[in-house]
């Protein structure tokens, strides 16, 4: 069971990191950070645009999700095709980190860099960001609400503890309602064990970290 749980662990950036470089009078500013979902990408890019207004290009790449659910994307942000986004994404892939985004902002300096120059510049800026980043380990959990009779509460606690889960909230009413966080890969095992407990009901709430 332990080895199976390890697929829920991934490494990502602890805090936003920034890198800056000047190449032939063009300024490149890299911004890398952890991000939990694709829905948050637009907000991060918009934040970069607000913080660095009037730039000529905002190029980025991201990696979100684990395993078969992982999604990767890159955009050149108006630069020549494959000269900006792919080098940024390549840096993310080489880092072996997950759930992160890197935006590279460019202020054009009046000197064309050429396709090769752009690829090197954007890739270098992204790699510098990641090299400076502090890394943390994160775990995917899923939340469930379990309703059980008072005499079965201890079984739920022990099962949750055995699967390295967490008790989020407990409500004592006619029955006991226990909200738990279970590591993603252990959810099916957790549910199978719940079926063996008398007078228990459960519903899955959401995926979380």
Q: Is residue 192 packed enough to be buried (19+ CB in 10 Å), middle (13-18) or exposed (0-12)? A: exposed
Mean pLDDT of 115-126: 97
> Cβ neighbours of residue 115 under 8 Å, at least 6 residues apart?
80, 83
Segment 4-15, tens digit of pLDDT? 444 678 899 999
pLDDT of residue 65: 84
| Bridge partners of residue 84, in order along the sequence | none
199 has a pLDDT exceeding 70: yes
Which two tokens mark 19? 């890198």
> H-helix or E-strand containing 140?
none
Q: How far apart are CA 73 and CA 100, in angstroms?
A: 11
DSSP string, 171-208: EESSSEEEEEEEEGGGHHHHHHHHTTSTTEEEEEEEEE
Q: How far apart are CA 89 and CA 102, in angstroms?
A: 8
pLDDT of residue 159: 93
| Bridge partners of residue 168, in order along the sequence | none
In the chain, what are the domain boundaries? 11-137, 140-208
Q: How far apart are CA 19 and CA 179, in angstroms?
A: 42
**196 — pLDDT class (breaks 50, 70, 90):** confident
**3 — pLDDT class (breaks 50, 70, 90):** very low
At residue 36, the 3 state secondary structure works out as coil
**Taking all residues of the chain, what is their mean pLDDT, rounded to a whole number?**
91
Q: Is the pTM of this model over 0.85?
A: no
To the nearest 10 degrees (0 to 180), the angle between helices 153-162 and 187-194 is 160
pLDDT of residue 209: 56
Percentage of the chain with pLDDT > 70?
A: 94
**139 — pLDDT class (breaks 50, 70, 90):** confident
Q: How far apart are CA 25 and CA 95, in angstroms?
A: 28
Segment 104-114, tens digit of pLDDT? 999 999 999 99
Mean pLDDT of 163-186: 91
- What CATH number has the domain spanning 11-137? 3.30.230.30
Q: Are 152 and 200 in contact (CB under 8 A)?
A: yes
The CATH-assigned architecture of domain 140-208 is: 2-Layer Sandwich (3.30)
Choose between 206 and 190: higher pLDDT: 190
> H-helix or E-strand containing 163?
none
Q: Is residue 188 packed enough to be buried (19+ CB in 10 Å), middle (13-18) or exposed (0-12)? A: exposed
The reply to whether 140-208 shares the fold of 11-137 is no
């Amino acid at each position: 069971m332990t080895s199976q749980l390890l697929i829920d662990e991934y490494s990502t950036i602890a805090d936003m990191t920034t890198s800056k470089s000047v190449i032939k009078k063009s300024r490149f500013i890299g911004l890398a950070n952890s991000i939990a979902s694709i829905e948050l990408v637009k907000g991060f890019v918009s934040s970069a645009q607000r913080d660095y207004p009037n730039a000529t290009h905002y190029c980025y790449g991201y990696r979100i999700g684990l395993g078969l659910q992982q999604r990767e994307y890159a955009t050149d942000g108006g630069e020549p095709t494959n000269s900006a986004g792919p080098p940024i994404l390549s840096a993310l892939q080489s880092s072996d980190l997950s759930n992160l985004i890197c935006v590279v902002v460019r202020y054009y300096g009046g000197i064309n860099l050429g396709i090769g120059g752009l690829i090197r510049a954007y890739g270098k800026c992204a790699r510098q960001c990641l090299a400076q980043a502090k890394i943390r380990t994160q775990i995917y959990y899923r939340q469930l609400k379990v309703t059980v009779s008072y005499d079965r509460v201890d079984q739920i606690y022990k099962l949750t503890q055995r699967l390295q889960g967490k008790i989020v909230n407990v409500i004592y009413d006619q029955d006991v309602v226990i909200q738990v966080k279970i590591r993603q890969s252990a959810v099916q095992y957790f549910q199978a064990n719940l079926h063996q407990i008398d007078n228990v009901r459960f519903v899955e709430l959401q995926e979380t970290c």
